[in-house]
Structure 1
């Protein structure tokens, strides 16, 4: 042991290897450290390359022209597809693949290893991504039709889930008369899916967007107004259906609040149209007598559920209505609404518009 210590002092920053014939071989310490570092790095890269996550959720990423490996790695990390962007970049360099990844849209998932992700990026896009825009005010049934036309998911599967599936507790509606429990909670936006996506995945994406867009500040505002999430969504759906222009939304919202305050029926034609098997543009006097819990001409208060899926502007209009004392409104041929305080004034507006 003393001989080894003496040799360490003599040769400085070197490590000695003793062999059987007592010859001493020395290796510079920096080389030993370098080899050790490479070994540990290889172990770490291997671990992160072969160890999959538990989540199998599909994620769409877009590799754009000119993107560097570091940018692709950061994108993958931001989407929680890979654990560490540094390992991915080093692995790409070690494999000589850092310049061979093809541009395009990819459908990946969080259960893939870094190596599997890289293999997909080398092969190039294999799956067609379908972009779909769900307009504000679309009903569950309209959305289901749209998704099936786009070959994204089954209409029947979508409708079946929309009747009973509750992804978030606050979306629960115990009213037995509600047509679709998720009506109002499918946030209208532009989405990207692949062909034959399971209906649950589509609904999770849309309700997840609702949960994100109706943020803490909006929920706090609803609490201040003593509005439950259900009441907020139903009111917003009525505003969405009745208003064509943004300036009308907060006015219409206040009209509905005014009617509720004096226990006056909401008398919204949109609730009649929602109750109809086949919708029509203009509601007749006979239609207002239709036997349905959604008929706000014969039933007081809010209908059992939303009548469409409102956008953020209608939600905000309910939370921040424009104060007025109107009780009636009627839209002209261009969609602009005319407001009145009494039924007599309302009839004059109706006659003038006609």
Structure 2
């Protein structure tokens, strides 16, 4: 009996490896071909996709892999197993089948690779111009404010050696009672000047004390807050007048001593009067602001009236010389300091304008003045030789070491010295000396000056 042939084995392969796929391929191994089964065609739902499909078809294993599994015979070396190299993007995958590749157009040029600029150079990261200008602008404003503060501080700083009345507890006021003013007008004037707080009360005192018709005209220096009794005594003084002559080159201290010896005024009364004068007229200093000459003053008010008279006389003298071109280059106080130095250096009127030219020439060149009279004023000694240590010390009045003018005048100048300071003689001199022959000798250079020292300062 013939044996029934075995039905060929069937192997089903899943091409996509997905559970959801229903398509399969049957492979018949050996034997006769199996009868074809009638297959009912299934309706395939049409799909449209733009994706490319990749089909993985496993193939037979390479012979090299099968041979590697066989045991190696004796005497033969096993083959060296190569370490698989990682596959890059440039090596194609043999198990992938590209169903469709992008077409390349040779006519279209390839786009060049865009390299972005550094961050600091990108347009979006650039610092705006307004921000760049803000920093220097703020710096300039800061420097300007600092300069203003320094200027204000220096303008308000007090000069060395000068005592102003602002430091005193009471301030002085300068006022003038003119002819024809009534007691009521005088009371209102004193109230407006700040000498008294209530002008009506002062007027009542004048009437009660029978002083309303006895008030004297003239210039006065009064301190604020004076009692009514002192004001009345000051305005009705009937003491005799005296004539005081202040010689050129007198200092404030020497004038104070002169009043004490001549009129028996208390020591320091004239110095106090000059401090009150500086406070009343807002002067930087008084030494140099008082013009020498002869003045008629009341004996009881000699110190106060003398200071006022000398100051007013200097104002009148300065008004005569305001046409000088040096007024635009120097202040009035600086020119008066120069006038006081000229007066301290010589008493001869003929020498004053040439000495003034030496001072102005040195100031214009920025050279030290080298005037020993300023050091003598600082020491308060006009007779004895100047100690070498004083000439070497760096002080505001040592014009050998300090460039420029001293901080104040050094004496009371005459009219001729004031004129010489405002109108110096034109010359090329930078040096001068008073020789043993009682003459003044000028020089243009230091070599000439040394020759003058040998010729006129050294004893034969």
Indicate the TM-score class for this superposition, using the shorter chain for normalisation. Answer: 0.5 to 0.7
Name the CA distance, whole Å, in 1 between partners of 2:327 and 2:306. 32
CA 1:138–1:229 in 2, change beyond 3 Å: closer, same or farther?
A: same
What whole-Å deviation, never above 9, does each CA across 1:265-324 have from its counterpart, x for those lacking one?
011010010010434343354331235311111111000010111111111111111111
CA 1:338–1:287 in 2, change beyond 3 Å: closer, same or farther?
A: same
Give the aligned partner of residue 195 of structure 1. Answer: 299
Name the CA distance, whole Å, in 1 between partners of 2:247 and 2:184. 35
- Secondary structure of 1:172's counterpart equals coil
CA 1:168–1:239 in 2, change beyond 3 Å: closer, same or farther?
A: farther
| Contact in 2 for aligned 1:244/1:335 (Cα 8 Å) | no
- Secondary structure of 1:214's counterpart equals helix
Give the aligned partner of residue 272 of structure 2. Answer: 160
| Contact in 2 for aligned 1:53/1:110 (Cα 8 Å) | no
Structure 2 unaligned spans of 5+: 1-178, 188-213, 219-237
Name the CA distance, whole Å, in 1 between partners of 2:295 and 2:264. 11
- Secondary structure of 1:196's counterpart equals helix
Give the aligned partner of residue 119 of structure 1. Answer: none
Give the aligned partner of residue 426 of structure 2. Answer: 323
Name the CA distance, whole Å, in 2 between partners of 1:334 and 1:160. 42
Structure 1 unaligned spans of 5+: 1-47, 57-106, 112-125, 174-180
CA 1:130–1:108 in 2, change beyond 3 Å: closer, same or farther?
A: farther
Name the CA distance, whole Å, in 2 between partners of 1:313 and 1:253. 11
1:197, CA displacement in angstroms?
1.4
Give the aligned partner of residue 276 of structure 1. Answer: 379
What whole-Å deviation, never above 9, does each CA across 1:1-21 have from its counterpart, x for those lacking one?
xxxxxxxxxxxxxxxxxxxxx
Give the greater-gyration-radius structure (CA). Answer: 2
Give the aligned partner of residue 304 of structure 1. Answer: 407
| Contact in 2 for aligned 1:222/1:229 (Cα 8 Å) | no
Name the CA distance, whole Å, in 1 between partners of 2:260 and 2:408. 24
| Contact in 2 for aligned 1:258/1:327 (Cα 8 Å) | yes
Name the CA distance, whole Å, in 2 between partners of 1:168 and 1:336. 43
What whole-Å deviation, never above 9, does each CA across 1:167-196 have from its counterpart, x for those lacking one?
674x622xxxxxxx2001111111122333
| Contact in 2 for aligned 1:133/1:191 (Cα 8 Å) | yes
- Secondary structure of 1:278's counterpart equals coil
Name the CA distance, whole Å, in 2 between partners of 1:211 and 1:50. 25
Name the CA distance, whole Å, in 2 between partners of 1:226 and 1:129. 42
Q: Which moved more, 1:247-256 or 1:280-289?
A: 280-289
CA 1:51–1:237 in 2, change beyond 3 Å: closer, same or farther?
A: closer
What whole-Å deviation, never above 9, does each CA across 1:238-276 have from its counterpart, x for those lacking one?
111112211111101010111111111011010010010
Give the aligned partner of residue 109 of structure 1. Answer: 216
Name the CA distance, whole Å, in 2 between partners of 1:108 and 1:347. 64
Q: How many residues are aligned here?
A: 234
Give the aligned partner of residue 183 of structure 1. Answer: 287
Name the CA distance, whole Å, in 2 between partners of 1:152 and 1:220. 42
Name the CA distance, whole Å, in 2 between partners of 1:224 and 1:158. 30
Q: Greater helix share, 1 or 2? A: 1
CA 1:151–1:266 in 2, change beyond 3 Å: closer, same or farther?
A: same
- Secondary structure of 1:295's counterpart equals coil
| Contact in 2 for aligned 1:152/1:193 (Cα 8 Å) | no
Q: Which moved more, 1:266-275 or 1:158-167?
A: 158-167
Give the aligned partner of residue 227 of structure 1. Answer: 330
1:211 to 312, 315, 320: 315
- Secondary structure of 1:133's counterpart equals strand
1:224, CA displacement in angstroms?
4.5
Matches within 5 A, 1:22-41: none
| Contact in 2 for aligned 1:154/1:196 (Cα 8 Å) | no
